[in-house]
Amino acid sequence: MNLRLQNKCALITGGSRGIGAAIVKRLAREGAHIALTYVSKPAQANETVKAAQELGVKALAIQADSADAEAVVAAVERTVAELGGIDILVNNAGIAVIAPIDDYRLEDLDRTLAVNVRAVFIATQAAVKHMQAGGRIINVGSCNAERIPFTGGGVYAMSKAALVGLVKGLARDLGPRGITLNNVQPGPVDTDLNPATSDFAKTLVQQMALPRYGSGNEIASLVAYLASPEAGYVTGASLSIDGGFTA
């Protein structure tokens, strides 16, 4: 593995498990020092931190609910203080509440927008105060921003579609400063929250060009590319990695 990110400092929100943990380990393998946020389950977060440290980098876990604006800003500031800066921000934390519109609760709408949209803006705003030219901001969006072929997913799809517009606009703001912003839009990925063996998974696989779920490592590989110097000319983009879900 080339150390493309050697001595870079990265913050991954929601980095204790699933896609987030895969991103943590991949960036650490490429030499980045890591901070990750988690909401609960500190043992799981510490396990991911230990895996990163075993790769020879500094790593720490920060308890922070992305729905809490002050906690998001504090996580960025602690990353800067303990790692010595922030070069890469991966806005990975997200939630999905699936329910038909007749039953959808306002509190679930508010929390979805707070975590999936507002926190992305807040973390980005806080991070760019410390970023130099070459800084990278990568959001983990969803292919559901473009296609939502099941009922009850309207609010989730709306929250991920909002990121498409956000990166286009912020890319204009930050381009002159040499900072890039992009979305990674995964399709179905095998995680503990969305296992590839579920009945729901079987219905999704039937709609894909590649008849399988993706892995967290596959998503992490695209994030690592966007975080690297090689991606210096990519900004304002929403890149699907979805097995042909939106094809």
Q: Any idea where the domains of the chain sit in the sequence?
A: 9-241
Superfamily of domain 9-241: NAD(P)-binding Rossmann-like Domain (3.40.50.720)
* Catalytic residue (one of 156, 213, 225, 233): 156
Q: What is the pLDDT of residue 1?
A: 62
Query: Distance between CA 25 and CA 31 in Å, rounded?
Result: 10
Q: Where would I find the beta strands (DSSP E) of 52-141? A: 59-63, 88-91, 136-140
Q: What is the pLDDT of residue 2?
A: 79
Using one digit for the tens of pLDDT, what is the confidence trace for 151-201? 999 999 999 999 999 999 999 999 999 999 999 999 999 998 889 999 999
**What are 120's two structure tokens?**
């992305």
104 counts as catalytic: no
Q: Where would I find the beta strands (DSSP E) of the chain? A: 9-12, 33-38, 59-63, 88-91, 136-140, 180-186, 237-241
Max CA pair span of the chain: 51
Query: Distance between CA 224 and CA 115 in Å, rounded?
Result: 23
Q: Which residues of the chain have pLDDT under 70?
A: 1
